[in-house]
Amino acid sequence: MTLDLTLDELLTTTRTVRKRLDLTRPVPMELIKECLEIALQAPSGSNRQGWQWIVVTDPDVRAAIGAIYGDVAARYLTSKHGAGALFADDPARSSIQKRVGTSAEWLGEHMGDVPVLLIPCIEAGETLPAGNQAGLWGSLLPAVWSYALAARARGLGTAWTTLHLQREAEVADILGIPATFHQGALIPTAYFTGETFKVAPRDPIETVLHVDRW
d(CA 139, CA 121): 10
Q: How far is the CB of 200 from ligand FMN (least distance, A)?
A: 4
CB atoms within 10 A of CB 209: 7
Query: Quick check: 162 binds ligand FMN (CB under 6 A)?
Result: yes
- What is the footprint of ligand FMN within residues 60-99 (CB under 6 A)? 83
Task: Let me know the angle formed at the C-alpha of 15 by 194 and 191, rounded to the nearest 5 degrees.
Answer: 45
107 binds ligand FMN (CB under 6 A): yes
Binding segment for ligand FMN (CB under 6 A), chosen from 22-30, 31-39, 100-108, 118-126, is: 100-108
Asked if 106 touches ligand FMN (CB under 6 A), the answer is no
- Three-class DSSP category at 177: coil
200 touches ligand FMN (CB under 6 A): yes
Binding segment for ligand FMN (CB under 6 A), chosen from 23-31, 120-128, 154-162, 203-211, is: 154-162
- Does position 145 bind ligand FMN by CB under 6 A? no
Which residues face 56 on adjacent strands? 117
Stretch that binds ligand FMN, among 45-53, 114-122, 146-154, 159-167 (CB under 6 A): 159-167
β-partners of residue 52 are 121
Among 16, 49, 52, 166, binds ligand FMN (CB under 6 A): 16
Q: Does 161 sit near ligand FMN (CB under 6 A)?
A: yes
Tell whether residue 159 is a contact of ligand FMN (CB under 6 A).
Answer: yes
CA-to-CA separations, 141 to 25, 73, 89, 145, in angstroms, rounded: 27, 22, 32, 6
**E strands, 80-191, in order:** 116-123, 156-158, 181-183, 187-191
Secondary structure (DSSP) of 102-118? HHHHHHHHHGGGSSEEE
Nearest approach in angstroms of CB 191 to ligand FMN is 17
Please report, to the nearest 10 degrees, the dihedral formed by the alpha carbons of residues 139, 145, 151, 157 taken in order: 140
Binding footprint of ligand FMN on the chain (CB under 6 A): 15-16, 83, 100, 104, 107, 159-163, 200
